[in-house]
Structures are given as structure tokens and as C-alpha cells.
């Protein structure tokens, strides 16, 4: 039985920012091929900052703690700062994860980064549409 740090237990028992954002600016989904667990992040962006973050995780306790920690670390950060969050830094912030649970941390930052990429690509296509409309 792996032992978890107090922080992992705290975020697992009382996960922060669980849920879904209606009409999110970006959404990122990642699946863990090792165990089949899934994590989805929803973001709202204001002035290049993450104004709101919510997540839904179908996974183990470590994956839930990781999602919760990622959502806290990224809250209010600029998109660039949030992109700099790594799976390793999340695991470190949680006080470490047991070795056989390190793969669970791989979902967290990736799902958030995917949500930011989704936001950026939507924004780019909107920009393109607007400029096409202006041109047309
Ligand atoms: S066992 Fe699936 S994410 Fe942890």
C-alpha cells in the first residue's frame, strides 16, 4: 500500500475546483494509457490570465489530488506561467508521490496545457474569421 503525503490526502479528501464550467474558453482532456483514467480541465481566461479553472477526474486518489493541486497552482496565473507548470512541479508541490503513482501526475499539467492550447486555437480561428470577414 503506497503512503501518501498529508498534502496528497488533503487534496484527495477535499479536492478544490471540482466541476465543470459552462461555455469554457478552453477545454483539455487527457487519458492515462497505463490505467485508463481520464481528466478534463475547463478554463475561463480574462486579460491573458486564468480567471477560473474547474476539473473532472475519473481516476485514482493520486490523480484527483494532482488535478486539485494543478487547479490551485494555475489559478490567476498568466497563460505563459500556467504553461510552465510541469507534472514534476505538481508532484513536488504535493510533497511527492509514491513511485508507483508517479504516472498519475502525468495527467495534471498535460490536461491544463491542452485546455490552454484549445483556448489559443479558438482565439486564433476567431481572429482569422474576423479578418476574413473584414476582407470579404
Ligand atoms: S491509477 Fe490511474 S491516474 Fe492513478
Ligand 1 proximity of 104 Cβ (cutoff 6 Å): yes
Q: Is residue 73 part of a domain?
A: yes
Q: Is residue 109 part of a domain?
A: yes
Q: What are the pLDDT digits (tens) for 79-113?
A: 999 999 999 999 999 999 998 888 888 889 999 99
Return the pLDDT at 78.
98
Ligand 1 proximity of 74 Cβ (cutoff 6 Å): no
- Which helix H or strand E contains 7, and what residues bound it? helix 6-13
Report percent pLDDT > 70 for the chain: 98
Residue 107 and residue 67 in contact, taking contact as beta carbons nearer than 8 Å: yes
Q: Is residue 57 part of a domain?
A: yes
Q: Is residue 59 part of a domain?
A: yes
Count of domains forming the chain: 1
- Give the ligand 1 atom nearest the CA of 61: 4
Q: Is residue 36 part of a domain?
A: yes
CATH of the domain at 72: 3.90.1010.10
Return the pLDDT at 32.
85
Estimate to the nearest angstrom the gap between the alpha carbon of 60 and the chain centroid. 16
Q: Is residue 131 part of a domain?
A: yes
Identify the CA nearest to 108 among candidates 15, 46, 13: 15
Q: Which domain holds residue 112?
A: 6-135
* 61-74 vs 106-135: helix crossing angle, rounded to 10: 50
pTM above 0.75, yes or no: yes
Identify the CA nearest to 66 among candidates 10, 105, 123, 114: 105
Q: Is 27 exposed, middle or buried (0-12, 13-18, 19+ CB in 10 A)?
A: middle
Concerning whether 60 is annotated as a catalytic residue, the answer is no
Ligand 1 proximity of 60 Cβ (cutoff 6 Å): yes
Concerning whether 104 is annotated as a catalytic residue, the answer is yes
Q: Is residue 1 part of a domain?
A: no
Amino acid at each position: 500500500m503506497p503512503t501518501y503525503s498529508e498534502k496528497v490526502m488533503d487534496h484527495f479528501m477535499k479536492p478544490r475546483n471540482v466541476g465543470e464550467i459552462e461555455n469554457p474558453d478552453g477545454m483539455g482532456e487527457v487519458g492515462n494509457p497505463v490505467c485508463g483514467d481520464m481528466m478534463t480541465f475547463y478554463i475561463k481566461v480574462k486579460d491573458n490570465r486564468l480567471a477560473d479553472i474547474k476539473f473532472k477526474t475519473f481516476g485514482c486518489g493520486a490523480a484527483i489530488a494532482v488535478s486539485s493541486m494543478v487547479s490551485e497552482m494555475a489559478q490567476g496565473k498568466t497563460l505563459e506561467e500556467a504553461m510552465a507548470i510541469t507534472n514534476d512541479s505538481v508532484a513536488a508541490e504535493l510533497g511527492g508521490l509514491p513511485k508507483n503513482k508517479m504516472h498519475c501526475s502525468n495527467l495534471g499539467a498535460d490536461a491544463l496545457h491542452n485546455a490552454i492550447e484549445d483556448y489559443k486555437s479558438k482565439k486564433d480561428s476567431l481572429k482569422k474569421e474576423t479578418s476574413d470577414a473584414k476582407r470579404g
